[in-house]
Amino acid sequence: MVLVWLILIPLLGALLAWLGGRWSSACAQGIALVAMLASLALSLWLWRNGDYSLTGAGFTASLGVLPQWAFEFRADWIQSLGISFHLGLDGLSLLMVVLTNLLGAVAVCCGTRDAGTRPGLFYFNLLWNLGSVIGVFLALDMFLFFFCWEMMLVPMYFLIARWGQDAPGGRRREAAALKFAVYTQSSGLLLLLAILALVFFHQQATGVLSFDYHDLLNTPLRRDVAWLVMLGFWIAFAVKMPVVPLHTWLADAHCCAPAAGSVDLAGLLLKTGAYGLLRFGIPYFPEVAHELAPVAMWLGVLGVVYGAVLAFAQTDLKRLVAYSGISHMGFVLIGLYAGTEQALQGVVVQMIAHGLSAAALFMLCGEIQARLQTRELGAMGGLWATMPALPPLLLFFALASLGLPGLGNFVGEFLILLGTFSVAPLVTVVAALGLVLAVAYALIMVQKTLHGAPHRVGTLAALDTPTLGLIAVLGLLLVGLGLYPQPVIDLARPSVQAVQHLYAAGGAAGAGVAADAALDTEAVTTGAPQ
């Protein structure tokens, strides 16, 4: 039941904040903040009181053993279609939920400037989105997962279209929001179709109509069918991550979104894609995932390099940060398909680290824009002289972004590269070059904003204390993650090991099938070892 509250608190907070908006902006924000903090406290309580060593032991689905969850909740929902309200929490979900609540609270605090004339509705959309994201991280029923997945869409559309800003260069915010929505929705429909196909083939094989994660693991699929179904999942998750050929919505959405929306988008929505691959995309189809791995890893490399090059070329501060996100998520994709335990650990750390650093960078972008009324790098410069407090922070997070040792992003990228080297040395080498490019875009950002001659005389307003505090918290967490990532790694280990076992078993089975293929082209590939 406690898991239901994790979702319900933000959703109820959303409704209350909407009502609260009738009185004042501060009231709505207060309600929203209280809701997110309550949810954060609840998730931290779960961290303290749960036994997160379970999943790995039981999740060797190849042996026919079901996953175990530290906390699980199941209630009937739509029995006639085999759909239940099934939630489960393991170390991986917990980390993501804590991150969501933390960044959610940060995003709510960012809202002061953006909420505008309808603060109630602004916080309603923000919290509704956050509640859905938590739902995505907890759902163990594919219908419920899709339900939450789609629920994220409309609030985010509104955040961009209603409270965003028209970007320079004639990009209208409605158009950017629409682009985001259409990309997400069309890939979401593919996801729905893939889910239905999986459920249907599962029903054909076993006679049981079920949308449950536990039931659908180990669904025997013909190889060609498995490919098609997996691609449905993969494309949906790849759009959200985003993987390079499908990334074009991201920069537009970011540069038109309000600061709170950007924090939410970069910190959380992108992570739902990676989480989806980790939880569903790979475990459902370990063998075909193996076959896809070379392509996926090279797409990851492409993302790393291309994102970094584009980031370097941007003249708009927010677009620069957005493209750097594509570069970072490229590492995540590489790590996911390398599939070794180290690489997957790196993926988890990288997701958290990028969530924290991107959130902070987007907040800083918002602060700079509020003072200079522009995000054009050409119109900046010299901030170090004209503004207290902000420049060192920007430098700090830029360094985090380029992967400075001692900060979280370094641990993530290092683990990913280390874990990938044994599997795909060439990929690792080229991806490591991406780190050099990261230095280039991070430093050009620092250089163009902070150094040089100031464009205007007189000092700018300092950061207010709450913002400073928030950014400091993010910074400290990043340092903590960089210096002592062990708690995170320990927490995620069982879940990561489970995925790694499945993936390795899939690789072995896939190789076996390839050998058998000469004898029997109609080989039915199943998750069970032969």
Chain residues that interact with other proteins, rule: CB under 8 A: 76-81, 146-148, 150-151, 153-154, 157-158, 161-162, 174, 177-178, 181-182, 185-186, 189-190, 192-193, 196-197, 200
Q: Are strands 71-78 and 524-525 parallel, antiparallel or unpaired?
A: unpaired
**189 vs 508, beta carbon nearer other proteins:** 189
**197 vs 385, beta carbon nearer other proteins:** 197
**180 vs 306, beta carbon nearer other proteins:** 180
- As measured in angstroms, the least distance from the Cβ of 523 to other proteins is 23
Pair 462, 392: CB distance under 8 Å: no
- Say what angle helices 408-421 and 317-338 make with each other, to 10 degrees: 40
What is the distance between the alpha carbons of residues 287 and 450, in angstroms, rounded to a whole number? Answer: 49
**182 vs 295, beta carbon nearer other proteins:** 182
What is the distance between the alpha carbons of residues 463 and 254, in angstroms, rounded to a whole number? Answer: 22
- As measured in angstroms, the least distance from the Cβ of 186 to other proteins is 4
Output DSSP code: residue 212: B
What is the distance between the alpha carbons of residues 517 and 437, in angstroms, rounded to a whole number? Answer: 43
Alpha-carbon Rg for the chain, nearest whole angstrom, is 22
Indicate the residue type of 384: W
Longest dimension (CA), the chain: 80
**143 vs 285, beta carbon nearer other proteins:** 143
What is the distance between the alpha carbons of residues 450 and 171, in angstroms, rounded to a whole number? Answer: 27
| 315 C-beta neighbours (distance < 10 Å), count | 14
**156 vs 450, beta carbon nearer other proteins:** 156
- As measured in angstroms, the least distance from the Cβ of 178 to other proteins is 5
Backbone angles phi, psi at 21, to 5 degrees: -60, -15
**222 vs 456, beta carbon nearer other proteins:** 222
- As measured in angstroms, the least distance from the Cβ of 287 to other proteins is 23
With 0-12 CB in 10 A as exposed, 13-18 as middle and 19+ as buried, what is 450?
buried
What is the distance between the alpha carbons of residues 294 and 406, in angstroms, rounded to a whole number? Answer: 31
Pair 338, 423: CB distance under 8 Å: yes
- As measured in angstroms, the least distance from the Cβ of 118 to other proteins is 8
**163 vs 337, beta carbon nearer other proteins:** 163
Indicate the residue type of 477: L
Indicate the residue type of 67: P
**75 vs 426, beta carbon nearer other proteins:** 75
List alpha helices for 115-172, DSSP H: 119-138, 142-151, 153-163
- As measured in angstroms, the least distance from the Cβ of 181 to other proteins is 6
- Say what angle helices 223-240 and 286-313 make with each other, to 10 degrees: 30
**148 vs 477, beta carbon nearer other proteins:** 148
**143 vs 331, beta carbon nearer other proteins:** 143
Q: In the beta sheet, which residues pair with residue 212? A: 141
- As measured in angstroms, the least distance from the Cβ of 519 to other proteins is 29
Q: How many H helices and E strands in the chain? A: 23, 4
What is the distance between the alpha carbons of residues 526 and 220, in angstroms, rounded to a whole number? Answer: 5
What is the distance between the alpha carbons of residues 210 and 213, in angstroms, rounded to a whole number? Answer: 9
- As measured in angstroms, the least distance from the Cβ of 62 to other proteins is 27
**5 vs 147, beta carbon nearer other proteins:** 147
Q: To which H or E segment does residue 222 belong? A: strand 221-222
Backbone angles phi, psi at 229, to 5 degrees: -65, -45
**178 vs 432, beta carbon nearer other proteins:** 178
| 182 C-beta neighbours (distance < 10 Å), count | 12
Q: To which H or E segment does residue 88 belong? A: strand 83-89
What are the structure tokens assigned to 153, written together? 């869409």
- As measured in angstroms, the least distance from the Cβ of 121 to other proteins is 9
What is the distance between the alpha carbons of residues 329 and 221, in angstroms, rounded to a whole number? Answer: 30
